[in-house]
Structure 1
Amino acid sequence: MNLFELTLRFNGFPIAEAKRKLAAIQAISEAEYENYVLDTRQTIVEYHLKENSNYREFVGKLDRFSWEDIPVMQKSDLQKPLQERLSKGFTTKNSYVNKTSGSSGHPFIFAKDKFCHALTWAEILNRFGWYGIDFNSSLQARFYGIPLDTLGFQKERLKDRLSSRYRFPIFDLSEEKMEGFLKTFRRKKFDYINGYTSSIVLFAKFLKQKGIVLKEVCPSLKQCVVTSEMLYETDKKLMEATFGVPVINEYGASELDLIAFTNPKDEFVVNSETLFVEILDENNKTVPHGESGRIVITSLYNKAHPLIRYDLGDTGILSKNSTFKKPILQELVGRTNDVAVLPGGRTVPGLTFYYVTKSVIEDDGNVKEFVIEQTKLDTFKIIYVSEQILTSEEIADIKKALFTYLENDLTLEFERVTVLDRKNRGKLKQFISRI
């Protein structure tokens, strides 16, 4: 057992047992896998109905035990003291406790029993292992935020040392800082990049402007893994061109597990070992594969805290080629809570504005990154970082695109800034509704 896994074991997380359990799950045949999923999800529901009074109250009286009759959990349902939500026998002392990022607007504290948390790490180790990445020996270039309080800062730095990673703090992504990033890549033998998508994209744009392919200055580099934010196909192509290595997409949630990960065949494979993922419509009915809906997830092994039919706040599409053993996330559309309401009464995903604007605003490489805020029913502000201020012609092109795809007579405001605000530990929220 290596240092990374010994650290997990030392902290009470039975990683060896979790890896054996994961291997046993993966050994289940395709023919038997549906039974595994159905039996395991029923077992976890029955457990919490028996051992968790808060969950019994939430579910209420069921006339019959049908999966579709189990109510869907919203994040707002979990915004109460953790002690009230823990199952019998679990405390904050014998569980893994953390808090969600709050990027959805509904932060809360959650808990996992220690075996469940070990399973999370077993899943992560397994997926990164698809690419030969070893957390004990593969050096990671980590593009993440970091807590600024002394205790949190030192804790993250210790975790970095134990996990063979070098952190590039991303609260300051000025050109001067990225010059420093590049110097570090020249002298360190990084195996892979890992971090928030928007920050790594910005570094890729910096390299493109310099005419540099990162692998040529850091020959040891093999992969780039992006996480936590939307990955657009245009950005993926940019990163692969400027880094000279494949880009792998990771989708996860701290309260759950790793949710989906790009496999070597470039399929975005959903974790079916420890999670049950559903795509539901507005009436909580399952939509056919190939159609868009809300991503609702059940944690199959968390005994400390129920997350059953939990609405993550994202929308997505499962491929028509999905099976119980190998669900494939065809598309991750965006967050359901980031919704724009238009004066004409239409409701559209907020990221629609981002998609349309992105198709126009980045053509010449002047604009490095941007976010969109809805400040009034008919008013949207585009806040952007660029070398030069947008011209009247560029602004006219953006307005034309938005009017074509959405609605006429919208008021657009533009604000050029030096750096975008990354309050949430470095995450960048690309659309914000303020109405």
Structure 2
Amino acid sequence: MNLFNLSLKFNGFPITKAKKHLKTIQNKNDDELKDYIKSKKQDIVAYHLKHNSFYKSFAKNTNPLEWETIPVMTKSDLQQPLVNRLSDGFHSKNIHLNKTSGSSGTPFIFAKDKFSHALTWAIFFDRYNWFNLNLNRAKQARFYGIPLDKKGYYKERFKDRLGNRFRFSVFDLSDIQFEKNIEKFTNTSFDYINGYASVIVQFAKYLKQKNSILNSICPSLKACIVTSEMLFEEDKTLLETQFGIPVINEYGAAELGLIAFQNLKNEWVINSEDLFVEILDEQNNILPYGKEGRIVITSLYNKAHSFIRYDLGDIGILSKKSTIQKPILEKLIGRTNDIVLLPSGKKSAGLTFYYVTKTVIEDSGNVKEFVIQQLKSDTFKIIYISETELSENEKNNVQIAISKYLEPNLNVIFERQEKLDRSNRGKLKQFKSYL
């Protein structure tokens, strides 16, 4: 049953149309593709200059025909009420509404028009097919977080059911939980694993301690797809050894969709069908292939919300082997998360704080940036920049969320600052442990 396709159609996302459109893009030759990218870049800029008051103000001196006159957009530019950023004719009934993960420490709410969101999923279908994974039928072992509030929890569980996936805990990385994971793999015919790199690596380390290979426990497994965090080469080797299956690096962002996906030749292929990816230096000059710089991305189809020359906050290199048909991401720097170690001995993924910090993410854009530091096993500091100081009620909500997602009796220190310390590459790491 094509349950995933049906769920997308039911929610108004034209997946069949999107898949057909994707094929027309992929069937273009080099010259046609070059003209297509140039045309789509100009078209999306012209559209937002005409129909989006936020972008019209932001890029008032832009000439759509001269790409380098177009200003680079950062996450902080988008931290204002969503209603200010929507294009004419778009509202809550005809958009896909979501929040960024906050993994960069700069969260905001965003929107995508329904065709743009459908095209994002068409690209996911296409890439997964490289490894004979059909999203309508393949059973997914999902290592992602989940909201613990009743409404959010059951919404995600319902989506899991439609998506033919089972969600494993990332909030509890104990040996007891890993034993439960093994039991589930023993009794379920999973086709692939998908989730946070750091959590999956912890599971693989436990399997190594037990001298167990996962695909001998679950022979139906075909692949492991890691996302949301960097995967170091030694960790990839560990996963391939302990799982006995290919390990695939996926690079994406909620607001953009799939950015890059490793192919069967272990090349990290950039999505050039609905995105335009550039590497820029600190002065916003375009760097040639092989040079390291800021990853800046344009969403070529999203008419509801402008993501034009959008600085994602990551650093990377496009390979010198890149072509117009196959741009290749040679290296991605950033997106690493530490493991949280708690007084009880429990371990959790650093991305657990995404679910904690959602309690302070408001559409008003009050909280601009934040980082979390673990000072002791039971003490955490939340350093944030905001227009107004967090109220006692908001601080209490954060404390409650930390107790819910991690464990009770943890100390939380709040510190409001004018500026946050960043890495020498301008990267803001959301979680840092000093243990």
Structure 1 and Structure 2 fold alike (TM over 0.5): yes
Q: Are residues 201 and 63 of structure 1, via their aligned partners in 2, closer, same or farther at CA, if it must alter by over 3 Å?
A: closer
- Ranges in structure 1 where 5+ consecutive residues have no aligned partner: 336-350, 355-367, 372-379, 385-419, 423-428
1:9 — aligned with what? 9
- Report if aligned partners of 1:370, 1:383 keep a CA contact under 8 Å in 2: no
The 8 Å contact of residues 37 and 324 in structure 1, kept in 2 or not, is answered as: no
CA distance in 1, matches of 2:62, 2:6: 44
Compared with structure 1, are the counterparts of its residues 62 and 223 closer, same or farther at alpha carbon in structure 2 (3 Å cutoff)? closer
Q: Name the amino acid aligned to 1:144.
A: Y
Q: TM-score, normalised by structure 2?
A: 0.78
Residue aligning to 1:254: 254
1:49 corresponds to? 49
Give distance in 1, aligned partners of 2:136 and 2:94.
Answer: 26
What is the root-mean-square deviation in Å for CA atoms of aligned residues? 2.4
Specify the alignment match of 2:88 in structure 1.
88
Q: Which residue of 2 aligns with 1:276?
A: 276
Q: Any idea what SS the aligned residue of 1:181 has?
A: helix
Q: CA deviation at 1:265?
A: 1.1
Match of 2:330 in 1: 330
SS where residue 158 of structure 2 aligns? Answer: helix
How many positions carry a matched residue from both structures? 357
Query: Hey, what's the Cα distance between the residues in 2 that align with 1:154 and 1:321?
Result: 45
Partner residue, 2:23: 23
**SS state of the match for residue 266, structure 1?**
coil
Q: Distance in 1 between matches of 2:306 and 2:166?
A: 35
CA distance in 2 between counterparts of 1:313 and 1:173 reads 28
- The 8 Å contact of residues 170 and 349 in structure 2, kept in 1 or not, is answered as no
Question: 1:73 and 1:267, CA in 2 relative to 1: closer, same or farther beyond 3 A?
Answer: same
Name the structure 1 match of 2:102: 102
User: Within 2, Cα distance between the matches of 1:4 and 1:291?
Assistant: 40
Q: Please say which of residues 54-63 and 8-17 is displaced more in the overlay.
A: 54-63
Q: Hey, which bits of structure 1, 4+ residues long, moved more than 2 A?
A: 61-65, 368-371, 380-384, 429-434
* One-letter code aligned to 1:324: I
Is 2:139–2:164's contact at 8 Å kept on the other side of the alignment?
yes
Q: Is the 8 Å Cα contact of residues 370 and 430 (structure 1) preserved in structure 2?
A: no
What letter is aligned with 1:225? I
Change (3 A) 1:80 1:64: closer
- Structure 2 counterpart SS, 1:284: coil
Q: Distance in 1 between matches of 2:348 and 2:169?
A: 18
Question: What aligned pairs does 1:181-192 form with structure 2 within 5 A after superposition?
Answer: 181-192=181-192
Answer whether contact 2:142 2:193 (CA < 8 A) is retained: yes
The one-character-per-residue Cα deviations of 1:207-254 (angstroms, maximum 9, x if unpaired) are 001100111111111110000001100000000000000100110001
Question: Greater relative contact order (Cα 8 A, min sep 6): structure 1 or 2?
Answer: 2
- CA distance, structure 2, for counterparts of residue 101 and residue 166 of structure 1: 21
Helix, strand or coil for the counterpart of 2:96?
A: strand
Written as runs of structure 1 = structure 2, the 5 A alignment for 1:283-298 is 283-298=283-298
C-alpha separation in 2, matches of 1:37 and 1:145: 36
The alignment partner of 2:68 has SS state of helix
Match of 2:69 in 1: 69
| Matches of 1:370 and 1:119, distance apart in 2 | 31
Query: How does the TM-score come out when normalised to structure 1?
Result: 0.78
Residues 63 and 198 of structure 1: CA distance in aligned 2, closer, same or farther (over 3 Å): closer
SS of corresponding position for 1:25:
helix
Give distance in 2, aligned partners of 1:225 and 1:370: 17
Query: What SS does the corresponding residue of 1:184 show, helix, strand or coil?
Result: helix
CA distance in 1, matches of 2:433, 2:238: 29
In the alignment, what sits opposite 2:358? none
The answer to whether the Cα contact below 8 Å between 2:45 and 2:64 also exists between their aligned partners in 1 is no
